[in-house]
Amino acid sequence: MILQSSFMAILLVIIITFFIGTCEGQLAFRFYAQTCPNAESIVLSVVQDAIARDPTMAAALLRLHFHDCFVEGCDGSILIDNGPASEKRAASHQGVKGFEEIEKAKAELESVCPGVVSCADIVALAARDAVALVNGPGYQVLTGRRDGRVSNLELAAAMPDVNDSIQLLKAKFLEKGLTEKDLVVLSAAHTIGTTACFFMNKRLYNFFPNVDEVSSDPSINPTFLPGLEARCPKDGDVNVRLAMDSGSEQLFDINILQNIRNGFAVLASDARLNDDETTKSVIDSYLSFPSPSSVQAFEVDFADSIVKMGRIGVKTGFQGEIRSVCSSFN
């Protein structure tokens, strides 16, 4: 009887553990292989069309993934449009694009696999495809995320900001389980895309706010500063766009790290990576001996970091939901 009771107790623990694991679920490669086998190819087709029409969409879709994951985890919360308090209205998400492309992919997926593929997974897959289509590394995406049921702009208050100190940037990444190395290689995603003069004003004209005269970030290479000022004049149009990786804004490459090291960073947050001993050493590790192998090392590290980022705060199993429309809760 004692042995039988012990056996039944162990069996019960195994059953409960299995049940909990099933409820919690987990991410997996090719999660939709059986339930929606063409899911990834459908997303790829939408991304290909989007970038063919507008090359800036590559950077937009990559940025969308980052902004989604840093608020409430990678759960598609940034896609919800439920009024002025929705997360996508947060100041820290200003300029984020790509919502229409995600919605288009979702509509195509719903027509063949209704209620199966989450919006959160579409965002992650679209970012992967966007990187690969502009010369970046290909990598496998873990899927199986479910969509969150919360969207509130106040939750985006702790997003990394272009004017954050290096200490604050490191702290914000660490809070999400990301290292200083992750900070560098994910910031290097700025190798593609543009930013607005709106984000340049402090760096160009008010870097030292307690002084009376105009002050610019001293880390800007003196030969680069006049061009930035000409593109974004004081009191000029804040919506003017400029490349974040001067000379290489449409190709995913290592050039941005060279620009950061040489004082040609456009964004203040990128420049700060060269101020800190640890993050600077990461940059130097890719640039000290330029070669195809160093480029390959960067690409491998970028893929590792973005896959790692894609696991932040995910909902799986019976958590969250699978939205029918990405901009609305079910």
| Amino acid identity at 145 | R
Return d(Cα 237, Cα 286) in angstroms, integer. Answer: 36
Q: What are phi and psi of 324, to 5 degrees?
A: -85, -35
Q: Is 321 helix (H, G, I), strand (E, B) or coil?
A: strand
Give bridge partners of residue 215 from the DSSP assignment.
206
| Amino acid identity at 4 | Q
- Rounded to 5°, the CA angle 317-151-38 comes to 45
At what angle are helices 39-53 and 57-69 packed, to 10 degrees? 130
Return d(Cα 316, Cα 96) in angstroms, integer. Answer: 26
Q: At which residue do the structure tokens 């509509």 appear?
A: 107
CA-atom Rg of the chain in angstroms: 22
- 163-to-94, 97, 203, 204, 217 alpha-carbon distances in Å: 14, 21, 8, 12, 11
Q: Which of 29, 294, 70 is nearest to 172 (CA)?
A: 70
Residue of 65, 67, 93, 190 with catalytic role: 67
Q: How many helices (H) and strands (E) does the chain have?
A: 13, 4
Which token pair is 246? 């001067």
67 an active-site residue? yes
For the CA atoms of 141, 120, 256, 222, what is the dihedral angle to 10 degrees? -170
Q: What are phi and psi of 160, to 5 degrees?
A: -55, 140
The residues carrying an active-site annotation are 67
